[in-house]
Structure 1
Amino acid sequence: MGLRLDACIAQHQGDRKEQQDRVALVAHPRQTGVALAVVADGMGGHTGGALAAEQVIHTLSTNFQHWGSSDDPRHLLHSGLQEAHTMIRASRFINEKDPHSTAVAMLLLPGGRAIWAHCGDSRLYQFRGIHLQARTVDHSYVEHLVRIGKISAEEARSHPNKNILLTSLGGREEPTVEFGGVEGLKAGDSLLLCSDGLWAYVPDEEMGALIGTGSAREVVTQLIALARARGAGEGDNISVALLKFMEAPKAPAAGLHGKRP
Protein backbone atom coordinates (compact mmCIF):
# COMPACT_ATOMS: atom_id res chain seq x y z
CA MET A 1 0.00 0.00 0.00
CA GLY A 2 1.37 3.40 -0.97
CA LEU A 3 1.43 6.54 1.14
CA ARG A 4 -0.01 9.97 0.58
CA LEU A 5 1.00 13.07 2.47
CA ASP A 6 -1.34 15.50 4.22
CA ALA A 7 0.72 18.55 5.16
CA CYS A 8 0.16 22.03 6.53
CA ILE A 9 2.35 24.93 7.67
CA ALA A 10 1.06 27.83 9.76
CA GLN A 11 2.17 30.75 11.90
CA HIS A 12 0.79 33.11 14.52
CA GLN A 13 2.47 36.26 15.78
CA GLY A 14 1.30 35.60 19.30
CA ASP A 15 1.52 38.61 21.58
CA ARG A 16 4.87 39.82 20.24
CA LYS A 17 5.33 43.07 18.33
CA GLU A 18 6.91 41.26 15.40
CA GLN A 19 6.86 37.80 13.81
CA GLN A 20 10.48 36.65 13.97
CA ASP A 21 9.79 32.98 13.17
CA ARG A 22 9.91 31.59 9.66
CA VAL A 23 8.56 28.29 8.34
CA ALA A 24 8.70 26.60 4.94
CA LEU A 25 7.67 23.36 3.24
CA VAL A 26 9.19 22.94 -0.22
CA ALA A 27 8.80 20.13 -2.76
CA HIS A 28 11.85 19.26 -4.81
CA PRO A 29 11.57 20.65 -8.36
CA ARG A 30 12.76 17.43 -10.05
CA GLN A 31 12.48 14.53 -7.61
CA THR A 32 9.15 12.95 -6.78
CA GLY A 33 8.54 12.26 -3.10
CA VAL A 34 11.33 14.57 -1.88
CA ALA A 35 10.54 17.61 0.27
CA LEU A 36 12.18 19.95 2.74
CA ALA A 37 10.52 21.34 5.89
CA VAL A 38 12.18 24.06 8.00
CA VAL A 39 11.27 26.05 11.11
CA ALA A 40 13.56 28.88 12.23
CA ASP A 41 13.07 31.08 15.31
CA GLY A 42 14.95 34.36 15.04
CA MET A 43 16.32 36.46 17.89
CA GLY A 44 18.09 39.79 17.96
CA GLY A 45 15.83 42.76 18.51
CA HIS A 46 13.76 44.70 16.02
CA THR A 47 14.00 43.07 12.54
CA GLY A 48 17.31 41.37 13.44
CA GLY A 49 15.76 38.07 14.44
CA ALA A 50 13.41 38.05 11.47
CA LEU A 51 16.32 38.59 9.09
CA ALA A 52 18.28 35.76 10.71
CA ALA A 53 15.37 33.32 10.44
CA GLU A 54 14.75 34.40 6.86
CA GLN A 55 18.40 33.69 6.06
CA VAL A 56 18.02 30.12 7.38
CA ILE A 57 14.97 29.48 5.18
CA HIS A 58 16.53 31.09 2.11
CA THR A 59 19.85 29.23 2.39
CA LEU A 60 18.37 25.78 2.98
CA SER A 61 15.67 26.21 0.32
CA THR A 62 18.15 27.45 -2.29
CA ASN A 63 20.61 24.62 -1.64
CA PHE A 64 17.75 22.13 -1.73
CA GLN A 65 16.81 23.19 -5.26
CA HIS A 66 20.21 21.99 -6.48
CA TRP A 67 20.38 18.82 -4.39
CA GLY A 68 20.71 15.55 -6.29
CA SER A 69 19.39 12.13 -5.31
CA SER A 70 22.93 10.73 -5.11
CA ASP A 71 24.08 13.43 -2.67
CA ASP A 72 24.29 12.89 1.09
CA PRO A 73 21.15 14.29 2.78
CA ARG A 74 23.00 14.95 6.04
CA HIS A 75 25.55 17.02 4.15
CA LEU A 76 22.78 19.10 2.59
CA LEU A 77 21.31 19.91 6.00
CA HIS A 78 24.62 20.46 7.78
CA SER A 79 26.22 22.59 5.08
CA GLY A 80 23.02 24.64 4.74
CA LEU A 81 22.92 25.40 8.45
CA GLN A 82 26.63 26.22 8.53
CA GLU A 83 26.24 28.53 5.54
CA ALA A 84 23.27 30.26 7.18
CA HIS A 85 25.34 30.69 10.36
CA THR A 86 28.13 32.36 8.37
CA MET A 87 25.72 34.69 6.58
CA ILE A 88 23.98 35.68 9.81
CA ARG A 89 27.36 36.40 11.42
CA ALA A 90 28.32 38.58 8.47
CA SER A 91 25.10 40.57 8.76
CA ARG A 92 26.19 41.79 12.20
CA PHE A 93 28.71 44.12 10.58
CA ILE A 94 26.30 45.29 7.90
CA ASN A 95 23.23 45.96 10.05
CA GLU A 96 24.87 46.63 13.44
CA LYS A 97 22.49 44.17 15.06
CA ASP A 98 22.98 40.96 17.05
CA PRO A 99 20.94 38.43 15.06
CA HIS A 100 20.62 34.74 15.93
CA SER A 101 18.31 31.94 14.92
CA THR A 102 17.43 28.43 15.95
CA ALA A 103 16.60 25.92 13.23
CA VAL A 104 15.10 22.50 12.70
CA ALA A 105 15.16 21.13 9.16
CA MET A 106 13.83 17.85 7.84
CA LEU A 107 14.41 16.18 4.48
CA LEU A 108 11.67 13.78 3.40
CA LEU A 109 12.89 11.05 1.05
CA PRO A 110 11.26 8.26 -0.97
CA GLY A 111 10.59 4.94 0.70
CA GLY A 112 9.26 6.38 3.95
CA ARG A 113 12.56 7.87 5.04
CA ALA A 114 13.27 11.19 6.78
CA ILE A 115 16.50 12.85 7.96
CA TRP A 116 16.56 15.90 10.21
CA ALA A 117 19.00 18.31 11.81
CA HIS A 118 18.55 20.95 14.49
CA CYS A 119 20.34 23.72 16.33
CA GLY A 120 18.81 25.45 19.35
CA ASP A 121 15.34 24.76 20.72
CA SER A 122 13.08 24.52 17.68
CA ARG A 123 11.85 20.94 17.71
CA LEU A 124 10.88 17.97 15.58
CA TYR A 125 8.49 15.33 16.91
CA GLN A 126 7.81 11.93 15.39
CA PHE A 127 4.49 10.33 16.34
CA ARG A 128 3.14 6.87 15.50
CA GLY A 129 -0.57 7.25 15.99
CA ILE A 130 -0.85 9.16 19.27
CA HIS A 131 2.43 7.82 20.65
CA LEU A 132 5.65 9.85 20.66
CA GLN A 133 8.47 7.90 19.01
CA ALA A 134 11.25 10.49 19.07
CA ARG A 135 11.94 14.18 19.33
CA THR A 136 14.94 16.46 19.09
CA VAL A 137 16.67 17.42 22.34
CA ASP A 138 16.96 21.19 22.84
CA HIS A 139 20.34 22.86 23.03
CA SER A 140 19.26 24.81 26.09
CA TYR A 141 20.37 25.29 29.68
CA VAL A 142 17.28 23.68 31.20
CA GLU A 143 17.43 20.68 28.84
CA HIS A 144 21.02 20.20 29.98
CA LEU A 145 19.82 20.24 33.60
CA VAL A 146 17.15 17.64 32.75
CA ARG A 147 19.69 15.48 30.96
CA ILE A 148 22.07 15.37 33.96
CA GLY A 149 19.21 14.79 36.41
CA LYS A 150 19.27 18.16 38.19
CA ILE A 151 15.62 18.98 37.42
CA SER A 152 12.62 17.10 36.05
CA ALA A 153 11.01 17.68 32.67
CA GLU A 154 8.04 19.20 34.48
CA GLU A 155 10.27 21.62 36.42
CA ALA A 156 11.94 22.62 33.15
CA ARG A 157 8.63 23.96 31.80
CA SER A 158 8.53 26.75 34.39
CA HIS A 159 12.26 27.22 35.04
CA PRO A 160 13.28 30.93 35.10
CA ASN A 161 16.19 30.22 32.70
CA LYS A 162 14.22 28.16 30.21
CA ASN A 163 14.96 30.61 27.36
CA ILE A 164 18.76 30.40 27.65
CA LEU A 165 20.27 28.61 24.64
CA LEU A 166 23.65 26.90 24.61
CA THR A 167 24.06 27.29 20.85
CA SER A 168 22.40 29.01 17.90
CA LEU A 169 23.07 30.06 14.33
CA GLY A 170 24.80 33.44 14.17
CA GLY A 171 26.46 33.20 17.58
CA ARG A 172 30.14 33.82 18.28
CA GLU A 173 30.87 30.10 18.64
CA GLU A 174 30.49 27.48 15.95
CA PRO A 175 26.94 26.12 16.18
CA THR A 176 26.17 22.65 17.48
CA VAL A 177 24.13 20.69 14.93
CA GLU A 178 22.63 17.30 15.79
CA PHE A 179 20.98 14.80 13.48
CA GLY A 180 18.21 12.25 13.65
CA GLY A 181 16.20 10.18 11.25
CA VAL A 182 13.64 7.48 10.68
CA GLU A 183 13.03 4.77 8.10
CA GLY A 184 9.86 2.86 7.34
CA LEU A 185 7.35 5.65 7.85
CA LYS A 186 3.85 4.27 7.39
CA ALA A 187 0.23 5.30 7.46
CA GLY A 188 -0.61 6.79 10.86
CA ASP A 189 2.84 8.33 11.34
CA SER A 190 3.29 12.10 11.72
CA LEU A 191 6.23 14.49 11.78
CA LEU A 192 5.76 17.86 13.47
CA LEU A 193 8.27 20.73 13.42
CA CYS A 194 7.63 23.75 15.63
CA SER A 195 9.11 26.73 17.45
CA ASP A 196 8.98 27.12 21.23
CA GLY A 197 5.89 29.28 20.89
CA LEU A 198 4.01 25.99 20.51
CA TRP A 199 5.83 23.39 22.56
CA ALA A 200 6.24 25.67 25.58
CA TYR A 201 2.46 25.58 26.04
CA VAL A 202 1.44 22.18 24.65
CA PRO A 203 3.04 19.08 26.22
CA ASP A 204 4.11 16.14 24.06
CA GLU A 205 1.22 13.92 25.09
CA GLU A 206 -1.36 16.56 24.22
CA MET A 207 0.22 17.01 20.80
CA GLY A 208 -0.03 13.27 20.23
CA ALA A 209 -3.66 13.16 21.33
CA LEU A 210 -4.56 15.90 18.85
CA ILE A 211 -2.60 14.49 15.91
CA GLY A 212 -5.27 11.95 14.99
CA THR A 213 -8.30 14.19 15.42
CA GLY A 214 -8.48 15.56 11.88
CA SER A 215 -6.63 16.74 8.82
CA ALA A 216 -3.22 18.40 9.09
CA ARG A 217 -4.86 21.82 8.73
CA GLU A 218 -7.43 21.05 11.44
CA VAL A 219 -4.79 19.73 13.85
CA VAL A 220 -2.49 22.72 13.33
CA THR A 221 -5.42 25.09 13.91
CA GLN A 222 -6.23 23.34 17.20
CA LEU A 223 -2.61 23.33 18.35
CA ILE A 224 -2.19 27.04 17.71
CA ALA A 225 -5.49 27.85 19.42
CA LEU A 226 -4.42 25.85 22.48
CA ALA A 227 -1.03 27.61 22.67
CA ARG A 228 -2.69 31.00 22.25
CA ALA A 229 -5.18 30.34 25.04
CA ARG A 230 -2.44 29.26 27.42
CA GLY A 231 -0.21 32.18 26.47
CA ALA A 232 -2.72 34.40 28.27
CA GLY A 233 -1.60 37.60 26.59
CA GLU A 234 2.12 36.81 26.76
CA GLY A 235 2.40 34.17 24.04
CA ASP A 236 5.44 33.90 21.78
CA ASN A 237 5.57 33.67 18.00
CA ILE A 238 4.29 30.28 16.83
CA SER A 239 5.41 28.36 13.73
CA VAL A 240 4.33 24.82 12.86
CA ALA A 241 4.83 22.35 10.02
CA LEU A 242 2.83 19.11 10.26
CA LEU A 243 3.22 16.16 7.88
CA LYS A 244 0.76 13.29 8.28
CA PHE A 245 1.25 10.04 6.39
CA MET A 246 -1.88 8.26 5.20
CA GLU A 247 -2.75 5.28 3.01
CA ALA A 248 -2.99 6.20 -0.65
CA PRO A 249 -6.32 5.21 -2.21
CA LYS A 250 -6.24 2.06 -4.29
CA ALA A 251 -6.26 2.52 -8.04
CA PRO A 252 -9.54 1.33 -9.58
CA ALA A 253 -9.36 -2.18 -10.97
CA ALA A 254 -9.06 -2.41 -14.71
CA GLY A 255 -12.34 -3.33 -16.37
CA LEU A 256 -12.76 -6.55 -18.39
CA HIS A 257 -13.55 -6.03 -22.03
CA GLY A 258 -14.72 -8.66 -24.49
CA LYS A 259 -17.06 -9.36 -27.35
CA ARG A 260 -20.68 -10.07 -26.72
CA PRO A 261 -21.74 -13.61 -27.57
Structure 2
Amino acid sequence: MTQGYRLTASTGIHKGDREYQQDQVALLSHPRVNGCVLAVVADGMGGRSGGRKASDQVMMSARQLFERFAPENDSPTVLLEQLVREAHLVIKLTAISAEQEPHSTLAAFLIMPHGECHWMHTGDSRIYHFHEGQLIKRTLDHSYVQALVERGEISEDEANNHPQSNILVGCLGTEAEPPMGRHQIGRLRPGDALMACSDGVWHYFTPAELGSVLAGLSPREATEFLIDKARQRARGGGDNLSLVIVRVEALAAPSASPLAKGLAGKA
Protein backbone atom coordinates (compact mmCIF):
# COMPACT_ATOMS: atom_id res chain seq x y z
CA MET A 1 0.00 0.00 0.00
CA THR A 2 1.43 3.34 -1.00
CA GLN A 3 -1.12 5.51 0.77
CA GLY A 4 -0.30 6.30 4.38
CA TYR A 5 -2.81 5.75 7.15
CA ARG A 6 -3.28 6.10 10.86
CA LEU A 7 -5.06 4.04 13.49
CA THR A 8 -7.71 5.51 15.76
CA ALA A 9 -8.93 3.34 18.59
CA SER A 10 -11.03 3.06 21.73
CA THR A 11 -11.80 0.52 24.43
CA GLY A 12 -14.94 0.21 26.53
CA ILE A 13 -16.06 -1.89 29.48
CA HIS A 14 -19.22 -1.92 31.63
CA LYS A 15 -20.58 -4.39 34.15
CA GLY A 16 -24.03 -4.15 32.56
CA ASP A 17 -26.76 -5.47 34.84
CA ARG A 18 -24.49 -7.91 36.67
CA GLU A 19 -23.32 -7.31 40.23
CA TYR A 20 -19.67 -7.66 39.29
CA GLN A 21 -17.33 -7.36 36.34
CA GLN A 22 -15.73 -10.51 34.92
CA ASP A 23 -14.80 -9.15 31.47
CA GLN A 24 -11.41 -7.61 30.77
CA VAL A 25 -10.22 -5.64 27.75
CA ALA A 26 -6.84 -4.26 26.69
CA LEU A 27 -5.39 -2.32 23.78
CA LEU A 28 -1.60 -2.47 23.89
CA SER A 29 0.89 -0.46 21.84
CA HIS A 30 4.20 -2.25 21.40
CA PRO A 31 6.81 -0.76 23.76
CA ARG A 32 9.56 -0.60 21.11
CA VAL A 33 7.95 -0.70 17.66
CA ASN A 34 5.54 1.97 16.42
CA GLY A 35 2.41 0.79 14.63
CA CYS A 36 2.36 -2.64 16.30
CA VAL A 37 -0.84 -3.05 18.32
CA LEU A 38 -2.45 -5.92 20.24
CA ALA A 39 -6.15 -5.88 21.18
CA VAL A 40 -7.53 -8.44 23.64
CA VAL A 41 -11.00 -9.19 25.05
CA ALA A 42 -11.57 -11.86 27.72
CA ASP A 43 -14.95 -12.86 29.16
CA GLY A 44 -14.37 -14.66 32.46
CA MET A 45 -16.65 -17.35 33.86
CA GLY A 46 -16.78 -19.38 37.06
CA GLY A 47 -18.30 -17.37 39.89
CA ARG A 48 -17.53 -13.84 40.95
CA SER A 49 -13.83 -14.17 41.76
CA GLY A 50 -13.24 -17.20 39.53
CA GLY A 51 -14.27 -15.47 36.32
CA ARG A 52 -12.31 -12.33 37.14
CA LYS A 53 -9.22 -14.38 37.98
CA ALA A 54 -9.48 -16.11 34.62
CA SER A 55 -9.81 -12.91 32.58
CA ASP A 56 -7.03 -11.30 34.63
CA GLN A 57 -4.74 -14.19 33.73
CA VAL A 58 -5.48 -13.66 30.03
CA MET A 59 -4.47 -10.01 30.29
CA MET A 60 -1.34 -10.75 32.29
CA SER A 61 -0.24 -13.35 29.73
CA ALA A 62 -0.97 -10.95 26.87
CA ARG A 63 1.11 -8.14 28.37
CA GLN A 64 4.06 -10.38 29.19
CA LEU A 65 4.15 -12.08 25.78
CA PHE A 66 3.68 -8.82 23.84
CA GLU A 67 6.49 -7.19 25.84
CA ARG A 68 8.87 -9.93 24.65
CA PHE A 69 7.51 -9.99 21.07
CA ALA A 70 9.94 -8.78 18.38
CA PRO A 71 7.80 -7.81 15.34
CA GLU A 72 10.77 -7.79 12.96
CA ASN A 73 11.66 -11.44 13.72
CA ASP A 74 8.88 -13.23 15.59
CA SER A 75 5.78 -14.88 14.14
CA PRO A 76 2.45 -13.16 14.91
CA THR A 77 0.65 -16.52 14.70
CA VAL A 78 3.04 -18.10 17.18
CA LEU A 79 2.52 -15.18 19.58
CA LEU A 80 -1.27 -15.61 19.51
CA GLU A 81 -0.99 -19.39 19.90
CA GLN A 82 1.32 -18.88 22.88
CA LEU A 83 -1.22 -16.48 24.38
CA VAL A 84 -3.99 -19.08 24.15
CA ARG A 85 -1.85 -21.93 25.52
CA GLU A 86 -0.21 -19.95 28.31
CA ALA A 87 -3.44 -18.36 29.53
CA HIS A 88 -5.17 -21.75 29.38
CA LEU A 89 -2.45 -23.38 31.49
CA VAL A 90 -2.30 -20.60 34.08
CA ILE A 91 -6.10 -20.59 34.47
CA LYS A 92 -6.05 -24.37 35.01
CA LEU A 93 -3.32 -23.95 37.66
CA THR A 94 -5.38 -21.22 39.33
CA ALA A 95 -8.31 -23.63 39.59
CA ILE A 96 -6.21 -26.08 41.62
CA SER A 97 -5.85 -23.61 44.48
CA ALA A 98 -9.35 -22.11 44.22
CA GLU A 99 -12.82 -23.37 45.00
CA GLN A 100 -14.14 -21.97 41.74
CA GLU A 101 -13.70 -23.37 38.25
CA PRO A 102 -12.35 -20.35 36.37
CA HIS A 103 -12.76 -20.24 32.61
CA SER A 104 -12.45 -17.49 30.02
CA THR A 105 -13.02 -16.73 26.37
CA LEU A 106 -10.37 -14.91 24.37
CA ALA A 107 -10.55 -12.73 21.26
CA ALA A 108 -7.33 -11.04 20.16
CA PHE A 109 -6.09 -9.32 17.04
CA LEU A 110 -2.54 -8.20 16.33
CA ILE A 111 -1.77 -5.40 13.85
CA MET A 112 1.77 -5.42 12.50
CA PRO A 113 3.76 -2.27 11.58
CA HIS A 114 3.10 -2.56 7.83
CA GLY A 115 -0.62 -3.23 8.16
CA GLU A 116 -0.77 -7.02 8.26
CA CYS A 117 -3.32 -8.27 10.80
CA HIS A 118 -3.69 -11.64 12.54
CA TRP A 119 -6.44 -12.76 14.87
CA MET A 120 -7.21 -15.64 17.22
CA HIS A 121 -10.24 -16.53 19.29
CA THR A 122 -11.56 -19.25 21.57
CA GLY A 123 -15.09 -19.29 22.99
CA ASP A 124 -17.84 -16.84 22.03
CA SER A 125 -16.12 -13.48 22.25
CA ARG A 126 -15.97 -12.24 18.67
CA ILE A 127 -13.83 -10.30 16.22
CA TYR A 128 -15.40 -8.41 13.30
CA HIS A 129 -13.68 -6.95 10.23
CA PHE A 130 -15.61 -4.29 8.31
CA HIS A 131 -14.70 -2.18 5.30
CA GLU A 132 -16.67 1.03 4.76
CA GLY A 133 -19.41 -0.41 6.98
CA GLN A 134 -19.68 -3.74 5.13
CA LEU A 135 -18.90 -6.97 6.97
CA ILE A 136 -15.85 -8.71 5.49
CA LYS A 137 -15.47 -11.50 8.05
CA ARG A 138 -16.22 -12.40 11.65
CA THR A 139 -15.18 -15.19 13.96
CA LEU A 140 -17.48 -18.20 14.43
CA ASP A 141 -18.26 -18.97 18.07
CA HIS A 142 -17.07 -22.15 19.72
CA SER A 143 -20.58 -22.76 21.03
CA TYR A 144 -23.42 -25.26 20.92
CA VAL A 145 -25.74 -23.01 18.91
CA GLN A 146 -23.03 -22.14 16.36
CA ALA A 147 -22.67 -25.87 15.71
CA LEU A 148 -26.44 -26.03 15.13
CA VAL A 149 -26.16 -23.13 12.65
CA GLU A 150 -23.29 -24.79 10.79
CA ARG A 151 -25.34 -28.01 10.49
CA GLY A 152 -28.25 -26.00 9.09
CA GLU A 153 -30.57 -26.88 11.98
CA ILE A 154 -31.23 -23.27 13.01
CA SER A 155 -30.69 -19.83 11.46
CA GLU A 156 -28.37 -17.09 12.70
CA ASP A 157 -31.41 -15.16 13.98
CA GLU A 158 -32.69 -18.21 15.85
CA ALA A 159 -29.23 -18.78 17.35
CA ASN A 160 -29.26 -15.33 18.93
CA ASN A 161 -32.43 -16.13 20.87
CA HIS A 162 -31.77 -19.81 21.53
CA PRO A 163 -32.21 -20.79 25.23
CA GLN A 164 -28.84 -22.58 25.16
CA SER A 165 -26.93 -19.78 23.47
CA ASN A 166 -24.57 -19.52 26.45
CA ILE A 167 -23.24 -23.09 26.21
CA LEU A 168 -19.64 -23.15 24.99
CA VAL A 169 -17.94 -26.17 23.44
CA GLY A 170 -14.47 -24.71 23.98
CA CYS A 171 -12.72 -21.99 25.98
CA LEU A 172 -9.74 -21.42 28.26
CA GLY A 173 -9.36 -23.33 31.53
CA THR A 174 -11.28 -26.51 30.68
CA GLU A 175 -9.85 -30.03 30.75
CA ALA A 176 -9.78 -30.17 26.96
CA GLU A 177 -7.33 -28.13 24.91
CA PRO A 178 -8.96 -24.87 23.77
CA PRO A 179 -9.95 -24.49 20.11
CA MET A 180 -8.12 -21.78 18.17
CA GLY A 181 -9.95 -19.86 15.48
CA ARG A 182 -7.31 -18.20 13.25
CA HIS A 183 -7.48 -15.62 10.48
CA GLN A 184 -5.06 -13.33 8.65
CA ILE A 185 -5.67 -10.06 6.81
CA GLY A 186 -2.85 -9.47 4.34
CA ARG A 187 -2.99 -5.67 4.51
CA LEU A 188 -5.39 -3.32 6.24
CA ARG A 189 -6.78 -0.45 4.14
CA PRO A 190 -8.24 2.95 4.91
CA GLY A 191 -11.93 2.36 5.58
CA ASP A 192 -11.29 -0.86 7.52
CA ALA A 193 -12.54 -1.26 11.08
CA LEU A 194 -11.84 -4.08 13.53
CA MET A 195 -13.84 -4.80 16.66
CA ALA A 196 -13.31 -7.44 19.34
CA CYS A 197 -16.10 -7.79 21.89
CA SER A 198 -17.74 -10.08 24.43
CA ASP A 199 -21.18 -11.61 23.89
CA GLY A 200 -22.67 -8.94 26.16
CA VAL A 201 -22.16 -6.57 23.21
CA TRP A 202 -22.65 -8.56 19.99
CA HIS A 203 -25.76 -10.36 21.22
CA TYR A 204 -27.82 -7.19 20.73
CA PHE A 205 -26.77 -6.16 17.22
CA THR A 206 -26.89 -7.41 13.66
CA PRO A 207 -23.66 -7.20 11.64
CA ALA A 208 -25.26 -4.49 9.51
CA GLU A 209 -25.96 -2.38 12.60
CA LEU A 210 -22.41 -2.81 13.86
CA GLY A 211 -20.95 -1.90 10.47
CA SER A 212 -23.07 1.23 10.25
CA VAL A 213 -22.05 2.39 13.73
CA LEU A 214 -18.34 1.75 13.16
CA ALA A 215 -18.41 3.57 9.80
CA GLY A 216 -20.42 6.54 11.00
CA LEU A 217 -18.91 7.33 14.39
CA SER A 218 -15.42 7.74 15.78
CA PRO A 219 -14.15 4.73 17.76
CA ARG A 220 -14.78 6.52 21.05
CA GLU A 221 -18.30 7.54 20.03
CA ALA A 222 -19.03 4.06 18.66
CA THR A 223 -17.85 2.45 21.90
CA GLU A 224 -20.13 4.63 24.01
CA PHE A 225 -23.08 4.20 21.64
CA LEU A 226 -22.83 0.40 21.51
CA ILE A 227 -22.59 0.05 25.28
CA ASP A 228 -25.56 2.36 25.83
CA LYS A 229 -27.71 0.72 23.13
CA ALA A 230 -26.87 -2.82 24.29
CA ARG A 231 -27.88 -1.89 27.83
CA GLN A 232 -31.18 -0.47 26.57
CA ARG A 233 -31.94 -3.58 24.53
CA ALA A 234 -31.03 -5.89 27.42
CA ARG A 235 -33.95 -4.43 29.42
CA GLY A 236 -32.30 -5.00 32.78
CA GLY A 237 -30.96 -8.48 32.00
CA GLY A 238 -27.68 -7.64 30.33
CA ASP A 239 -24.29 -9.29 30.76
CA ASN A 240 -20.92 -7.61 31.27
CA LEU A 241 -19.88 -5.66 28.17
CA SER A 242 -16.39 -5.16 26.79
CA LEU A 243 -15.10 -4.10 23.39
CA VAL A 244 -12.15 -2.64 21.55
CA ILE A 245 -12.45 -0.83 18.22
CA VAL A 246 -9.60 0.06 15.85
CA ARG A 247 -10.29 2.03 12.69
CA VAL A 248 -7.92 2.60 9.77
CA GLU A 249 -8.06 6.15 8.39
CA ALA A 250 -6.30 7.68 5.39
CA LEU A 251 -3.71 10.36 5.96
CA ALA A 252 -4.27 13.61 4.11
CA ALA A 253 -0.57 14.22 3.43
CA PRO A 254 0.71 11.96 0.61
CA SER A 255 4.29 12.24 1.87
CA ALA A 256 3.50 10.83 5.31
CA SER A 257 5.13 7.64 6.55
CA PRO A 258 3.33 4.31 5.83
CA LEU A 259 1.96 4.07 9.33
CA ALA A 260 1.34 6.89 11.74
CA LYS A 261 3.13 6.51 15.02
CA GLY A 262 1.15 5.25 17.97
CA LEU A 263 -2.58 5.38 18.46
CA ALA A 264 -4.94 8.32 18.41
CA GLY A 265 -8.14 8.58 20.41
CA LYS A 266 -7.52 5.72 22.83
CA ALA A 267 -10.12 5.71 25.57
Q: TM-score range by the shorter chain?
A: over 0.9
Q: Are 1:202 and 1:226, in contact at CA under 8 Å, matched by a contact in 2?
A: no
What SS does structure 1 have at the residue aligned with 2:159? helix
Give the superposition deviation at 1:249.
Answer: 3.0
Superposed structure 1 runs of 4+ greater than 3 Å apart? none
Q: Deviations over 1:212-261 (max 9, x none)?
A: 222110111111111010010000000010001101231789xxxxxxxx
Q: Are 2:4 and 2:254, in contact at CA under 8 Å, matched by a contact in 1?
A: no
Q: Deviations over 1:107-138 (max 9, x none)?
A: 11022210010000000000001100000000
- Report the structure number with the largest CA radius of gyration: 1
Matched with 1:98 is 101
Matched with 2:37 is 35
Give the superposition deviation at 1:93.
Answer: 1.4
Q: Deviations over 1:142-176 (max 9, x none)?
A: 00000010101011011011000000100111111
1:189 aligns with 2:188: no
Q: Which one of 160, 167, 172 corresponds to residue 170 of structure 2?
A: 167
Q: Which one of 5, 8, 18 corresponds to residue 7 of structure 2?
A: 5
Matched with 1:226 is 229
Q: Deviations over 1:198-220 (max 9, x none)?
A: 00111111001111222110111
Q: Distance in 1 between matches of 2:224 and 2:205?
A: 13
Partner amino acid, structure 1, of 2:53:
L
Query: What CA RMSD, in Å, does the superposition of the two structures yield over aligned residues?
Result: 1.2
What SS does structure 1 have at the residue aligned with 2:154? coil
Give the gaps of 5 or more residues in structure 1.
254-261
For residues 1-261 of structure 1, what are the structure 2 equivalents within 5 Å? Answer: 1-69=3-71, 70-250=73-253
Q: Distance in 2 between matches of 1:239 and 1:46?
A: 17
Q: Are 2:87 and 2:172, in contact at CA under 8 Å, matched by a contact in 1?
A: yes
Paired-residue identity, %: 43
Q: Are 2:117 and 2:187, in contact at CA under 8 Å, matched by a contact in 1?
A: no
What SS does structure 2 have at the residue aligned with 1:30? coil
Q: Are 2:104 and 2:172, in contact at CA under 8 Å, matched by a contact in 1?
A: yes
What SS does structure 2 have at the residue aligned with 1:164? coil
Q: Deviations over 1:59-95 (max 9, x none)?
A: 0111110011211111111111101101100111112
Partner amino acid, structure 2, of 1:224:
I
Q: Distance in 2 between matches of 1:8 and 1:62?
A: 22
Q: Distance in 2 between matches of 1:214 and 1:67?
A: 32
Q: Which has the higher contact order (CA 8 A, sep 6+)?
A: 2
* TM-score, reference length from structure 1: 0.95
What SS does structure 2 have at the residue aligned with 1:190? strand
Q: Deviations over 1:44-71 (max 9, x none)?
A: 0021101100100110111110011211
Q: Distance in 2 between matches of 1:131 and 1:203?
A: 12
Give the gaps of 5 or more residues in structure 2.
257-267
